[in-house]
Amino acid sequence: MQTNFTLAQLADPDTAVSEKILRSCVHCGFCTATCPTYVLLGDELDSPRGRIYLIKDMLENDKPANEEVTLHIDRCLSCLACMTTCPSGVDYMHLVDHARARINDTYRRPWLDRAVRDVIAAVLPYPARFRAAMVAAFVARPFLGLIRRVPGLSRLAPMIALAPARLPRRSRNAGKNAFPAEGERKGRVALLRGCAQSVLDPGINAAAVRLLTRQGIEVVFAEGDGCCGALVHHMGRRQESHAQAKTAIDAWIKAIDAGGLDAIVVTTSGCGTTIKDYGFMFRDDPDYADKARRVSELAKDISEYLETLDLAALANPSKVVVAYHAACSLQHGQQVKTTPKALLVKAGFEVREPAEAHLCCGSAGTYNMLQPELSARLRERKVANIEATGAAVVTAGNIGCITQIGAGTKLPIVHTVELLDWAYGGPRPARLTG
Ligand code: SF4
Ligand code: SF4
């Protein structure tokens, strides 16, 4: 695609990157077929190619973001299915990140939209606040019908609806930062403590700790790590996301210096995609470029790390039929496609893959709270495809998908690491025990 940027515009490092991305698009339109919003809405402006044109026009002409650009970029899930499909290797992720940041900096949203976004950014990344919000949502749940009808309050309804009916108890690991390897120590990793996941399902990291330590891996939570910054990053709030990312980077660098790390293991694939991108995010920051690159190089999804281990002592061989839901952040963002399924098969599960596995379930970070209608349509489609597999259990590698799909089906849904922990000697996942 031909571009017309001036030298002055290209002096801005973000614009220089975006210009290269824009030039790599040959407007073939292959990406439209796999874009969930184009599949649902059939509008070119809700396809990757249409959004690329909108972003090009905004950047090239130095325009502030307007209502039209904001509408169509907001509808984008950042699922990155378009990147998997694109034959020209267009780096849509960094282009849309740039566009979101520009919208955040130059467009004044209606007050209600601003308020909802401010609340999400102030609550979700902080476990104590998020837990309090979940308790409030639990109290508000019986009034959901009423809340939906009150203008202003209705924007809170999707958040209340997504809150689990029962909040899990705090993990027994809460407050503990180090878990020694059982037997001979074969490695040492840091596990991302995470923010929303630690409240919604502390059992996921507990399963990861059990499985890893049984395999001879020492596990630590780096002191001071928290939200990786992904949640606000996808809302275009660059300053906040960089501040959160820097805190996490500092925590991991300290852990590396204190005893070395073989990997930074992540059980929330949405976070993993962002952590793997720290090197890019901080490429021009003289204080953080090197540290961020080191952290990104060590970041691994739990399935990637488990694949490097010779998993020993299959204790609970199970023929349970599981439907594997591939989180977009894992299959498209990190290009981890076959590893989780291979690990499940090796552990004795029968794995079935739903039709349209490339399509997003509608979770997409904060998307299900900000775009509830589109998100609900995607969930319905995803749940129908999952249930058609005839599986008894659903599994995924991302808490966002687990919450989203779980709200639309009666089938139990668990994280892949919980099934693997069970298969290799851990307890049966709580959601499977009824
Ligand atoms: S598939 Fe790639 S090159 Fe073709 S229009 Fe989409 S982004 Fe552009
Ligand atoms: S990231 Fe997903 S929703 Fe956004 S343009 Fe690409 S395929 Fe469509």
CA of 18 to the centre of ligand 2 (A): 17
CA of 3 to the centre of ligand 1 (A): 15
The pLDDT tens digits along the chain (434 residues) read 899 999 999 999 999 999 999 999 999 999 999 999 999 999 999 999 999 999 999 999 999 999 999 999 999 999 999 999 999 999 999 999 999 999 999 999 999 999 999 999 999 999 889 888 888 888 887 777 777 777 777 777 777 777 777 767 666 666 788 999 999 999 999 999 988 888 889 999 999 999 999 999 999 999 888 899 999 999 999 999 999 999 999 999 999 998 899 999 999 999 999 999 999 999 999 999 999 999 999 999 999 999 999 887 576 667 899 999 999 999 999 999 999 999 999 999 999 999 999 999 999 989 999 999 999 999 999 999 999 999 999 999 999 999 999 999 999 999 999 999 999 999 999 888 75
Nearest Cα neighbor of 319 from 342, 347, 348, 340 is 348
Ligand 1 pocket at CB < 6 A:
25-31, 48-49, 82, 85-86, 88, 90
Q: Which residues contact 254 (CB under 8 A, 6 or more apart)?
A: 222, 223, 224
Q: Are strands 393-396 and 187-191 parallel, antiparallel or unpaired?
A: unpaired
Q: Which residues contact 344 (CB under 8 A, 6 or more apart)?
A: 322, 324, 351, 395, 416, 419, 420
**Closest C-alpha residue for ligand 1 atom 8:** 25
Alpha-carbon distance of 327 to 361, in angstroms, equals 8
Ligand nearest to the Cα of 43, by number: 2
CA of 377 to the centre of ligand 2 (A): 15
CA 169 to chain centre: 23
